[in-house]
């Protein structure tokens, strides 16, 4: 084992809503202002928090997910960011021990352990005093850990008067107090039904960040954070320009990217580039047609329901998508992209609009979340996907909309073992379904798609 080239910390929370995203954004902004070279990651399959990281830093963030990938890939993902960063900050997911079902599988705690990263717990101390000690002791001792990965704490929503007292509690429990976010801090993260508002939707986001930093620059122990980050260790060698997948295919992939299709894992784009793919982006909202020289198409998730009228009125784009798929262009359409391929889509007020009409469904918002969480997806017998059978892949679902008919070419099983259902459409050239796919760890799925893209390219040339 050796000390990492830079430093590394995981910013964790006691639960959703404790203030960890506010703390994360404030720390990223503040350290950047102080001249520290920062890289960021998000634990788990979230799309929106990495958008905030990118907005703060001006560079892409990424995801670390121990359900999708094994330990070697997680280490490699972390290692390659060490070359151009003094410090890597990793934002946790939900509560520190919250994973699949009632386990810590896929949790912030598991990722901290695998990557050997010190964790800083964000604790909302509003309305608490001596009970903070019990909370800290519980988090430190939970799971019968011989040595807790929680090494520091930042308090949220407390007064300057309370900080010395809570610092004493933390020190008695053996963890380092690293500052606080005062009660008067007005920085809030607005939300909508799929999670936080995206940063570009929040008015004056950069001004809010600047105001937040003015508040916390004298209440956070910046030196203590940097010192703790240097205690992170890595077990893999740090190799410049590390490539995790072989460069093998040369093809051009068109990817929908605009206000309505914005849920893109930066790591998926990196995976495709490492596979020697040339990426070209287009807008189903604003462009007239799909780029003509592509060998495959990806329609990712997002918020098409918020732009249903505009998408419907862009008839030339809908016709282009329909014609290209009918002509054999390989396509991945997940969640929002899957909704776009349906016959019709209702907006949030329930008004229906005509979509691309590649698939036969009518998509409408339900009363609550449908099949939320990690899933294991398998292709049903007698079906093929991108020319293959017996394909299985891991994915994540998070959607309020549902389709009727919703397809039945796949069986999706909850990773927690709490149920299964039939879903989605598959063919030799099309994947259409709600599950979001993270490419690292699902190479069989992606490589089958790319094989079809190469075949399509050979046919058209």
CA distances from 374 to 45, 98, 386, 398, 437 (A): 9, 13, 23, 9, 10
In a domain, 245, yes or no: no
If asked whether residues 394 and 311 sit together in one domain, one would say: yes
Q: What is the CATH number of the domain that holds 174?
A: 3.40.50.300
Per-residue confidence band for 1, with pLDDT thresholds at 50, 70 and 90:
very low
Pull the structure tokens for residue 294: 């592509």
Q: At what angle do helices 163-172 and 131-141 cross, to 10 degrees?
A: 30
* Number of Cβ atoms within 10 Å of the Cβ of 1: 6
Q: What is the pLDDT of residues 7-26, one digit of tens each?
A: 999 999 999 989 999 999 99
Q: At what angle do helices 48-57 and 205-216 cross, to 10 degrees?
A: 80
If asked whether residues 275 and 163 sit together in one domain, one would say: no
Q: What is the pLDDT of residues 219-259, one digit of tens each?
A: 999 999 999 999 997 655 444 344 566 666 689 999 999 99
Q: What is the CATH number of the domain that holds 357?
A: 3.40.50.880
Pull the structure tokens for residue 387: 């020319």
Half-sphere exposure of 157 (CA within 13 A, CB side): 17
What pLDDT, on a 0 to 100 scale, did the predictor assign at position 233?
79
If asked whether residues 195 and 265 sit together in one domain, one would say: no
If asked whether residues 290 and 425 sit together in one domain, one would say: yes
What pLDDT, on a 0 to 100 scale, did the predictor assign at position 203?
61
d(CA 63, CA 45) in angstroms, rounded, equals 7
Q: What is the pLDDT of residues 121-150, one digit of tens each?
A: 999 999 999 999 999 999 999 976 667 999
What total number of domains does the chain contain?
Answer: 2
Q: Which of 188, 157, 10 is nearest to 93 (CA)?
A: 10
If asked whether residues 28 and 170 sit together in one domain, one would say: yes
If asked whether residues 181 and 304 sit together in one domain, one would say: no
Least confident range of 97-101, 218-222, 247-251, 412-416? 247-251
CA distances from 146 to 23, 142, 354 (A): 28, 10, 58
52-57, Cβ contacts within 8 angstroms, sequence gap of 24 or more: 52/21, 52/24, 52/25, 52/189, 52/196, 52/199, 53/24, 53/25, 53/28, 53/91, 54/266, 55/199, 55/200, 55/205, 55/206, 56/25, 56/28, 56/29, 56/32, 56/209, 57/28, 57/32
In a domain, 230, yes or no: yes
Does residue 198 surpass a pLDDT of 70? no
Please classify residue 158 by burial: count the beta carbons closer than 10 Å to its beta carbon, then call 0-12 exposed, 13-18 middle and 19+ buried. Answer: buried
Q: What is the pLDDT of residues 320-370, one digit of tens each?
A: 999 999 999 999 999 999 999 999 999 989 999 999 999 999 999 887 777
Contacts with 292 (C-beta within 8 Å, 6 or more apart), sequence order: none
What pLDDT, on a 0 to 100 scale, did the predictor assign at position 258?
96
Q: Which of 329, 430, 448, 425 is nearest to 377 (CA)?
A: 425
If asked whether residues 136 and 275 sit together in one domain, one would say: no
If asked whether residues 194 and 285 sit together in one domain, one would say: no
Does residue 4 surpass a pLDDT of 50? no
If asked whether residues 217 and 268 sit together in one domain, one would say: no
What DSSP character marks residue 200? G
In a domain, 410, yes or no: yes
Residue where one domain finishes, among candidates 234, 266, 285? 234
In a domain, 369, yes or no: yes
In a domain, 435, yes or no: yes
If asked whether residues 131 and 280 sit together in one domain, one would say: no
Does residue 194 surpass a pLDDT of 80? no
In a domain, 244, yes or no: no
Structural domain boundaries, residue 176: 2-234
In a domain, 208, yes or no: yes
What pLDDT, on a 0 to 100 scale, did the predictor assign at position 241?
41
In a domain, 162, yes or no: yes
3-state secondary structure 301-317: ECCHHHHHHHHHHCHHH
What residues are labeled active site?
335
Residue 233: φ, ψ to 5° = -125, 160
If asked whether residues 336 and 441 sit together in one domain, one would say: yes
Per-residue confidence band for 81, with pLDDT thresholds at 50, 70 and 90:
confident
Per-residue confidence band for 83, with pLDDT thresholds at 50, 70 and 90:
confident
Percent of the residues in the chain that have a pLDDT greater than 90, as a whole number? 80
Residue where one domain finishes, among candidates 206, 234, 262? 234
If asked whether residues 102 and 58 sit together in one domain, one would say: yes
Residue where one domain finishes, among candidates 208, 234, 260? 234
């Amino acid at each position: 084992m050796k000390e990492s080239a830079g430093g590394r910390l995981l910013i964790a929370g006691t639960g959703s809503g404790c203030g960890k995203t506010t703390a994360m954004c404030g720390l990223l902004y503040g350290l950047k202002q102080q001249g520290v070279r920062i890289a960021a990651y998000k634990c788990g399959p979230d799309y929106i928090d990495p958008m905030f990281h990118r907005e703060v830093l001006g560079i892409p963030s990424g995801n670390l997910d121990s359900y999708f990938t094994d330990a070697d890939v997680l280490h490699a993902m972390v290692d390659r960011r060490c070359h151009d960063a003094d410090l890597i900050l990793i934002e946790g997911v939900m509560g520190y021990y919250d994973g699949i079902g009632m386990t810590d599988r896929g949790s912030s705690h598991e990722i901290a352990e695998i990557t050997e990263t010190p964790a800083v717990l964000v604790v909302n101390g509003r309305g608490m005093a001596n009970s903070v000690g019990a909370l800290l002791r519980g988090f430190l001792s939970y799971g019968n850990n011989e040595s807790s990965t929680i090494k520091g704490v930042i308090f949220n929503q407390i007064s300057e008067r309370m900080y010395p007292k809570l610092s004493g509690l933390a020190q008695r429990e053996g963890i380092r107090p690293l500052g606080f976010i005062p009660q008067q801090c007005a920085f809030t993260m607005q939300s909508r039904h799929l999670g936080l508002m995206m940063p570009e939707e929040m008015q004056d986001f950069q001004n809010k960040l600047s105001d937040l930093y003015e508040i916390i620059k004298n209440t956070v122990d910046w030196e203590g954070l940097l010192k703790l980050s240097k205690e992170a260790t890595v077990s893999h060698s740090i190799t410049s320009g590390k490539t995790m997948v072989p460069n093998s295919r040369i093809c051009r992939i068109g990817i929908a990217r605009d206000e309505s299709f914005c849920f893109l894992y930066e790591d998926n784009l990196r995976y495709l580039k490492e596979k020697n793919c040339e990426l070209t982006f287009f807008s189903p909202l604003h462009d007239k047609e799909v780029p003509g020289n592509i060998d495959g198409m990806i329609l990712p998730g997002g918020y098409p329901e918020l732009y249903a009228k505009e998408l419907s009125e862009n008839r030339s784009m809908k016709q282009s998508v329909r014609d290209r798929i009918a002509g054999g262009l390989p396509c991945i359409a997940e969640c929002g992209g899957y909704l776009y391929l349906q016959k019709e889509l209702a907006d949030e007020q329930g008004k229906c609009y005509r979509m691309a009409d590649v698939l036969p469904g009518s998509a409408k918002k339900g009363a609550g979340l449908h099949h939320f969480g990690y899933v294991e997806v398998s292709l049903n017998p007698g079906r093929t996907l991108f020319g293959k059978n017996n394909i299985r892949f891991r994915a994540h679902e998070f959607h309020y909309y549902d389709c009727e008919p919703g397809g039945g070419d796949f069986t999706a099983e909850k990773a927690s073992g709490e149920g299964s259902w039939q879903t989605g459409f598959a063919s030799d050239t099309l994947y259409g379904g709600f599950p979001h796919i993270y490419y690292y760890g699902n190479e069989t799925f992606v490589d089958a798609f790319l094989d079809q893209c190469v075949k399509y390219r050979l046919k058209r040339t």
